[in-house]
Amino acid sequence: MPELPEVETIRMGLQKYLVGHTVTDIDVRLPKMLTGEVQSLIGAKVQGIRRFGKGLVIDFDNGYSLAIHIKMTGQLVYKGTKVPKETQVSEKVGKILPHNHTHLIFHLNNATLYYNDIRQFGWLKILKTADVKELPFFKDLGPEVFKELTLSLFSDIVKRNKIAIKPLLLEQKKLSGVGNIYANDALFKAGIDPRRKAHALTDTEIEKLFASIEEVMKKGIEVGGSSEWSYVNALGEEGEYQKIFQIYGREGKPCLVCGTVIEKLVLGGRGTYLCPTCQK
């Protein structure tokens, strides 16, 4: 589900297709998904789309913004004349929009943006652009992979924390962008047992882990994200990363490197996969 590579893929799609469109009306089919004054966006033109960690911000030309977190099953799907119709609905979603899980419909000039969310965990907030950074989620975000998170900063964070390394990687307030799938794959690639206490990792291991995180996230963006559950990009298309999971979801299957049976455990309440031979 959506981690940095998935959300960045959506951002790029929206940046390409949504910019320049004007909001003509908003259908609020499930009110709890949206906060703020709907009227603020009517007649406003999309200027650009920013991403912070796993959060998105659509900026309009009237000083208002739409802050979005799609959590696990949210989808932002654009339909409009700018793109060929047949590419707009994925086979897996397979439904004509809007459907039962379409909670918000943003009517634009000559286009539509749908917000679908099966599990209704996501949120969208209309607020003044200047106030976006005051939202707790954005305000508390830690340094982001590929941006502020340098090796030395990453090393400081790892050494300062005594919890297990995997749940640490998932704490968006410590470092932002990493989610469960890429955390599993990065730890496997670095040969580190996810249960190891963070502060006990050696400098070499920290360097290896930092490089592995960047490597798996970069790969994720390259292949358009991971569509294990309901993730789709801004055109409703699926990504490919689920086809190249190195360890995530491979419980009981042979390790791709050494053939040892992959084990599964729960760490910090999250499914965690481990090759007992490769990860020490």
Partner DNA sequence: AGTATCCTGGAA
Partner DNA sequence: TTCCAGGATACT
Please report, as residue ranges, which positions from 81 to 110 form the binding site for DNA (by CB under 7 A). Answer: 100-101
Does the footprint of DNA cover residue 221 (CB under 7 A)?
no
Does the footprint of DNA cover residue 144 (CB under 7 A)?
no
d(C-alpha 40, C-alpha 27), whole Å: 14
In whole angstroms, the minimum distance from the beta carbon of 143 to DNA comes to 14
Q: According to CB under 7 A, which one of 28, 38, 163, 256 is a site residue for DNA?
A: 163
Does the footprint of DNA cover residue 12 (CB under 7 A)?
no
Instruction: CB nearer to DNA: give 73 or 88.
Output: 73
84 counts as catalytic: no
2 counts as catalytic: yes
Does the footprint of DNA cover residue 5 (CB under 7 A)?
no
Q: According to CB under 7 A, which one of 16, 159, 219, 270 is a site residue for DNA?
A: 270
Q: According to CB under 7 A, which one of 43, 109, 119, 146 is a site residue for DNA?
A: 119
Q: According to CB under 7 A, which one of 53, 220, 236, 239 is a site residue for DNA?
A: 53
Query: Which residues, including other chains, have CB under 8 Å from residue 185's CB and lie 6 or more apart?
Result: 212, 216, 245, 246, 247, 248
237 counts as catalytic: no
Does the footprint of DNA cover residue 136 (CB under 7 A)?
yes
Does the footprint of DNA cover residue 142 (CB under 7 A)?
no
| Burial class, 61, CB count within 10 angstroms (exposed 0-12 / middle 13-18 / buried 19+) | middle
Identified catalytic residue from 11, 51, 54, 174: 54
Instruction: CB nearer to DNA: give 60 or 185.
Output: 185
Kindly indicate which of the ranges 56-64, 116-124, 142-150, 151-159 contains the residues binding DNA, using the contact rule CB under 7 A.
116-124
3 counts as catalytic: yes
Does the footprint of DNA cover residue 256 (CB under 7 A)?
no
Identified catalytic residue from 2, 5, 167, 194: 2
Does the footprint of DNA cover residue 2 (CB under 7 A)?
yes
Number of residues that this document lists for the chain: 280
Kindly indicate which of the ranges 12-20, 77-85, 202-210, 263-271 contains the residues binding DNA, using the contact rule CB under 7 A.
263-271
Instruction: Write the secondary structure of the chain as one string of H (helix), E (strand) and C (coil).
Output: CCCHHHHHHHHHHHHHHCCCCEEEEEEECCHHHEECCHHHHCCCEEEEEEEECCEEEEEECCCEEEEEECCCCEEEEEEECCCCHHHCCCCCCCCCCCCCCEEEEEEECCEEEEEEECCCCCEEEEEEHHHHHHCHHHHCCCCECCCCCCHHHHHHHHHHCCCEHHHHHCCCCCCECCCHHHHHHHHHHHCCCCCCEHHHCCHHHHHHHHHHHHHHHHHHHHCCCCCCCCCCCCCCCCCCHHHHCCCCCCCCCECCCCCCECEEEEECCEEEEECCCCCC
Size of the site for DNA (CB under 7 A): 36
Residues that bind DNA (CB under 7 A): 1-3, 53-55, 69, 71-73, 100-101, 118-121, 136-137, 140, 161-164, 167, 170, 172-173, 179-181, 264, 266, 268-271
